[in-house]
C-alpha cells in the first residue's frame, strides 16, 4: 500500500502534465507519487472516494485516507515542494470559493489554451518509480 501523497491528474492534458513535470524536480526527496485519473489506479482511487470517474476537471491529492480536490489539492501539493514553491501553500487562507472560481475557469479552458496529447507522456526511467498505474 502506498503511504506517500498521490497526485491524480488528467493524463491527456498538457497543462496537467506540465504541472507534474514542474513538480518532479522540485520534490527532491521524492515524496509525491503520481497517477493519471484515467489509469486503473486513478479510477480505483476516484471510486474509493465516491468521486466521478469520467470527469477529469479536478486535480486530486490523496493523503492517506483523505482526499482534496481543485485548488485545495493544488495548494496542498505545492506544500511538498522545496523552497520557495512551498510558500504557495499559504494561499490556502484565501477563501476556497474564490480559489475555486479561478481554478474552475482554468480547468474549463485548459484544453483550448494548452492542448491535449493522445497518450500520457512517459516519465524518465529515474522518475518511473514515482508513477502508479
What's the pLDDT tens digit per position in 78-124?
Answer: 999 999 999 999 999 999 999 999 999 998 998 889 888 776 666 77
Which cell numbers hold the place of 56? 477529469
The answer to whether 59 and 16 are in contact (CB under 8 A) is: yes
The pTM (predicted TM-score) of the whole model is 0.88
Q: Helix, strand, coil: what percent of the chain each, to 5? A: 45, 15, 40
* φ, ψ of residue 27 in degrees (nearest 5): -120, 70
* φ, ψ of residue 62 in degrees (nearest 5): -110, 120
* φ, ψ of residue 6 in degrees (nearest 5): -120, 130
Amino acid at each position: 500500500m502506498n503511504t506517500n501523497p498521490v497526485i491524480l491528474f488528467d493524463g491527456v492534458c498538457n497543462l496537467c502534465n506540465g504541472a507534474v513535470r514542474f513538480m518532479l524536480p522540485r520534490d527532491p526527496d521524492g515524496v509525491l507519487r503520481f497517477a493519471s485519473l484515467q489509469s486503473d489506479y486513478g479510477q480505483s482511487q476516484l471510486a474509493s472516494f465516491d468521486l466521478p470517474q469520467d470527469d477529469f476537471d479536478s486535480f486530486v491529492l490523496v493523503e492517506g485516507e483523505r482526499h482534496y480536490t481543485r485548488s485545495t489539492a493544488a495548494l496542498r501539493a505545492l506544500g511538498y515542494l522545496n523552497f520557495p514553491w512551498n510558500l504557495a501553500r499559504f494561499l490556502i487562507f484565501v477563501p476556497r470559493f474564490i480559489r475555486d472560481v479561478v481554478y474552475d475557469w482554468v480547468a474549463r479552458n485548459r484544453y483550448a489554451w494548452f492542448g491535449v496529447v493522445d497518450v500520457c507522456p512517459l516519465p524518465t526511467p529515474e522518475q518511473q518509480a514515482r508513477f502508479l498505474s
